[in-house]
A and B are shown apart, each in its own frame.
Chain A
Amino acid sequence: MFKNKHSLPESPIRQNTLKTLFLALLIAGFPHFFNLPIWVTSVFFACILLKYYLVSIEKDKAAPYIPILLAIPIISLVYFQFGTLLGIEASISLLVVMLGLKVFELSDYRDAMLSLFLGFFVVVTVFLFQQQLIIALYLLICGFMLTLSLLKLNDYTGRQPHRQQIKTTFELSVGSIPIILILFFIFPRLDSPLWSLPGSNGQAQTGMSESMSPGNFTKLVQSSAPAFRATFNQKAPAQDELYWRGPVLENFDGKRWSRTKSIAKISETNESNTVENIGDAFSYQITLEAHQNRWVFPLDMAIDSGKDAITNSLGETLSKEVIRKTSQFEFSSATTFSFDSNAHGTKLSAALRLPTRTAPKTRALAEKLFLEVNGDKKRFVDRVLSRFTEMPYAYTLEPKPMSSDYIDSFMTDTMEGFCEHYSSSFVVMMRAVGIPARVVTGYQGGEYNEHGDYYLIRQSDAHAWTEIWLAGEGWIRKDPTSMVSPERVNQGIESAFAGSNLLPSTIRISFLKKLNMRWDTMNYYWSKWVISYNNTLRTDLINRFKSLMKSIGKQLVISLTTLALLVFITLILKQFFLSSKSSTSEEESLYRRFIKHNNKIYDTEKKQSETELQYANRLSNKNSEHAKEIQAITSRYLAIRYGNQESTSELKKLKESISEYCSLSLSQQAAAS
């Protein structure tokens, strides 16, 4: 019964069809140049390009043994590269290489279809590495191209015009939009993965690290990649209050600042919240780009970290899970507060430790200044800060070469540095006189985007500042960099380095900047509504829809029912009127008119059993003066109905002759009576 499905001919593969397919596959595989080992993508490209060449010079001979011979060495190569065949990168590499080989040995319709379907799969794997809007747009083109080659592959006769195929592709793509939207927003998501996600170690993402040594920040600041975006629910704090708090660094070994505790220990925190005397609270959302770590950067200081993150006693905030994709967090923060004011003894000891041989000159300087202010801690802090402005300190991304003890070198000799130099020197000075101090890293500032009403914080906004602890006041933020370069804090990193070509060029030109802002707005909504769309958001959306339905439910039900009823009635009426008409063609209705007329005038009805010719003969006998017309009408009708010459001109002739006949016989009858 279903036999015919197998015996339908497979469409032949043609040269230009294959070229379209190869092009689509090349476009689809291109982004993997940035994700996979270079040789993998190169093999893929080489195979397809070679095949393309062979096809275009029409010397394409099927050589199925070549891929089989190559398969084993390539599988082992992938194994040696990754040490496994099951990891995400290894399996995708395998897929890409194998697809290349498959294309190389492609010889018939089935191979071509399979390669094309695998092409779609390759596109899916690209998204496992990159999810930006630009990639989405790029891959949309891939999807379009693949669909177009699907159409070309299945064009049996090869007579379908190119334009028609493009039109059909559009039809298909546009038609799938509602399906995509519905499925995307209602399709249930998994809360935990089905199989474990092997860590993708290959991708070193730029992002905040958990330690700080000279040069760290310089690298970070040169990246314009977005770190996160923040949307304030009501008002936003002033620009110089925008300190996005990240890892707190207390340990110093003379070169490198690091955290005291390992991340693993943070989760077990049951230390009570030590933030008190809270001022105005700001609530906001953070949409954080994936950075393969757990750090979240709320505004200093978070008082409510939502359900997906926790804040520990150091004021560091961590996500409950590693941030592998763009994720959203809800926070509430206060900019005025007192933090840990009751701390004592052991809790502060880490913030006082200094390696004994480090920075002797700086220590001496600190002790000297401390004596000058008679041991008043507050006055000492102010004195140290003002010294940065009094002396010719400069803020630069390219400090002069320093000696191995970079604190001394910076403080007393070169006097040129970046936030990491300022903050670490400041902390060393504080600790030298017994004031608990530590380095806090994070981001400072952010670019306000008025189109999307959010702040965009880039990697280039990375910053390091300090906290000192004073009895009765707790930890207080001090930013020595702001003494040297107030613009850094008031207007952002960009203005601090106006004219320098160290910053990425995209954010320097103001014309481009505007364009950039709009583009970023689109990216923001993209990450907010698409990339970070998860079960929580889905449930949220469905709930919102439900409550909307509840509020307008009754009217909606009534109006929908009315609409449905109207449509139903229209359909019924249409069916009714059309069914009586549609089965008869035009010539039939004309002929019926002819019969009806005869019935009326000559009382000659056509019998069911009679053929048209017999009827015509009978009629001619009865009405001999019109015999010729009757025969002409009948033969014309039969020619149209059963013959091969259905054309409008013939129909028109039939119509004319029938009406002529009718009027003639009518007038004669009138004359007779």
Chain B
Amino acid sequence: MGSYSNLIQRTESTLQRWLTRRQHHYSDSSTLDRKHIFIIPTRAGVCLGALLFLMLLTSLNYMNSMSMLLTFFVAGIAFNSAWLTYLNLKDLTVSRVSQKNLFVGEQGTFRIKVNNPTKRDRYGLVFRERNENLILHDVQAGDEIQVKMPITPERRGEYKLRRFAIATRMPVGIFNAWSWQTLKTSLWVFPEPIPNHPAPFAASGDDGECAPTSSQGEEFSNLRDYSQGDSIKHIAWKQQARHQKLLTKEFSESTSGSISLSWDFYSELDTETRLSYLCYWVLEAEKQNLEFSLSLPDDFYPTNSGEKHTQDCLLALARYPA
């Protein structure tokens, strides 16, 4: 018994090694070539095989040349269909494309480019990853498509594309060909933004005041003459009395006051919640066009604003060791 399971184990590991040898190393793109395409009969194929045997036996027994011819015709079709199934995959290339990063729990897609540089249209390609995601595609000759694999990441961090398979049963359904592929492509999963109060502003502007949470969310900068169309809310009524004319308060887009988001603010919470809370405020700050800085235990992002800054900060949150 023991030696038997041992044998199975050894066989399996040998098989696995062989399979690994036959797999691509992680790269930007790869081609489905002869060495990486496997083919075996489907259940229907096995059924047809049994029937072919029966047909052969019948024609042999009755010494009937015509039935023999027909049996060989069906056998020929089966044989050729294996070839066509293989050709349906051969020389396709898969390559990576830029991914859109996601938040935990957000529905999104993971994309891969499948390119058909040959002159043969490909039909019924099945894309599989993690045993479930089945997506059917046709790729015309010389065309390329993007496989959009729907994902809803559940964990923060790097979402790597695992080994995936491009498979097909076309055109006849009695053979199943597939090719395992690996690509060096991943996307980042940011923490799930969780709304929370109070804001983690350890120290902000000169007066230590909380950042404005008004609808404008902007800082007053100076006064100018009123012109038609200015909001009544922005009229400086006090100054108007002094200057005898309508003046409008101007608010600058770039706030002079900045906020600092800090890891230390949530000292009593666990790591993931902290990151989620910080993530919420990074997004909030961006929404309100505030300058902000982010301090993490090993990292500090100085006060800044803009999309790149936000992305850098989100990435830092995503990368934060669990």
A interface list, Cβ under 8 A from B: 1-9, 11, 88, 110, 113-114, 117-118, 120-121, 123-125, 127-128, 131, 135-136, 139, 143, 147, 150-151, 153-157, 159-160, 164-165, 168, 171-173, 175-177, 179-180, 183-184, 187, 189-190, 193-195, 197, 324-325, 530-534, 642-644, 646
Contacts and interface: CB of A to CB of B under 8 A. Distances in A.
Interface in B18-56: 19, 28, 40, 42-44, 47-48, 51, 54-55
B68 A187 contact: yes
Interface residues of B, number: 64
B304 interface: no
B80 A175 contact: yes
A533 B65 contact: yes
A193 B62 contact: yes
27 contacts: A7-B131, A8-B126, A8-B176, A113-B44, A118-B51, A120-B51, A124-B70, A125-B58, A127-B67, A131-B65, A136-B66, A151-B172, A155-B171, A156-B124, A156-B169, A157-B123, A157-B137, A159-B138, A160-B123, A160-B138, A172-B81, A175-B76, A179-B75, A184-B65, A184-B68, A190-B61, A531-B65
B66 A131 contact: yes
B70 A193 contact: no
Contact of A195 (B61, B170, B176, B178): B61
Contacts of A114: 47
B126 A120 contact: no
A249 to B, nearest CB: 32
Given A113-B47, A121-B51, A5 B75 contact: no
The 6 closest A-B pairs by CB, nearest first: A176-B76, A154-B173, A179-B76, A127-B66, A156-B124, A175-B80
A1 B17 CA distance: 13
Nearest to B111: A644
Contacts of B73: 143, 173, 176, 180
B2 to A, nearest CB: 24
Nearest to B71: A124
B134 A8 contact: yes
B273 interface: no
A135 B60 CA distance: 19
B63 A159 contact: no
B176 A5 contact: yes
A113 B44 CA distance: 7
Given A113-B44, A124-B55, A159-B138, A143 B70 contact: yes
B250 to A, nearest CB: 37
Nearest to A154: B173
B252 interface: no
Interface in B98-142: 98, 113, 121, 123-124, 126, 128, 131-132, 134, 136-138
A124 B58 contact: yes
Contacts of A646: 144
A325 B80 contact: no
B210 interface: no
Contact of B70 (A4, A120, A159, A534): A120
Interface string B159-172: 00000010101111
B194 interface: no
Contact of A530 (B69, B71, B76): B69
A183 B56 CA distance: 11
Contacts of B123: 155-157, 159-160
Contacts of A117: 47-48, 51
B72 A127 contact: no
Contacts of B74: 120, 143
A8 B173 CA distance: 11
A4 B167 contact: yes
Contact of A325 (B15, B44, B64): B64
A159 to B, nearest CB: 5
B63 A325 contact: yes
Contacts of A113: 44, 47, 173
Contacts of A121: 51, 54-55
A665 to B, nearest CB: 29
Contacts of B47: 113-114, 117
Which residue, B57, B83, B96, B171, has most C-beta atoms of chain A within 10 A? B171
Contacts of A195: 61
A157 B57 contact: no
A97 B307 CA distance: 73
Given A124-B67, A180-B72, A194 B61 contact: yes
A308 to B, nearest CB: 14
B59 interface: yes
Contacts of B55: 120-121, 124
A532 B19 CA distance: 49
Contacts of A177: 76
B67 A644 contact: no
A7 to B, nearest CB: 7
Contacts of B7: none
Given A117-B47, A176-B72, A187-B68, 15 more contacts: A4-B176, A8-B126, A8-B134, A123-B70, A124-B55, A131-B64, A154-B173, A156-B136, A172-B76, A173-B73, A176-B80, A325-B64, A642-B96, A643-B98, A644-B97
A215 B63 CA distance: 35
A184 B65 CA distance: 8
Contacts of A173: 73, 77
Nearest to A643: B98
A1 B132 CA distance: 14
A150 B73 CA distance: 14
B26 to A, nearest CB: 15
B79 interface: yes
Given A5-B42, A154-B173, A155-B124, A189 B69 contact: no
A339 B40 CA distance: 69
B224 to A, nearest CB: 39
A180 B80 CA distance: 12
Contact of A642 (B84, B98, B131, B138): B98
B79 A154 contact: no
A128 B62 contact: yes
A598 B172 CA distance: 54
Nearest to B54: A121
A4 B129 CA distance: 10
A5 B81 contact: no
Contact of B171 (A88, A120, A168): A168
B110 to A, nearest CB: 14
A177 B124 CA distance: 27
A110 B48 CA distance: 12
A340 B74 CA distance: 56
A531 B121 CA distance: 40
A153 B44 CA distance: 12
A124 B55 CA distance: 7
Contact of A190 (B63, B80, B138): B63
Contacts of A3: 131
Nearest to A2: B40
Contacts of A8: 42, 126, 134, 167, 169, 176
A106 to B, nearest CB: 15
Interface string B289-312: 000000000000000000000000
A187 B28 CA distance: 49
B97 A532 contact: no
A4 B170 contact: no
B44 A172 contact: no
Contacts of A642: 28, 96-98
B283 to A, nearest CB: 26
A172 B84 contact: yes
Given A157-B124, A644-B97, A9 B136 contact: yes
A574 to B, nearest CB: 14
Which residue, A124, A131, A150, has most C-beta atoms of chain B within 10 A? A124
A154 to B, nearest CB: 3
Nearest to B93: A585
Contacts of B67: 124-125, 127-128
A189 B167 contact: no
Nearest to A173: B77
A90 to B, nearest CB: 15
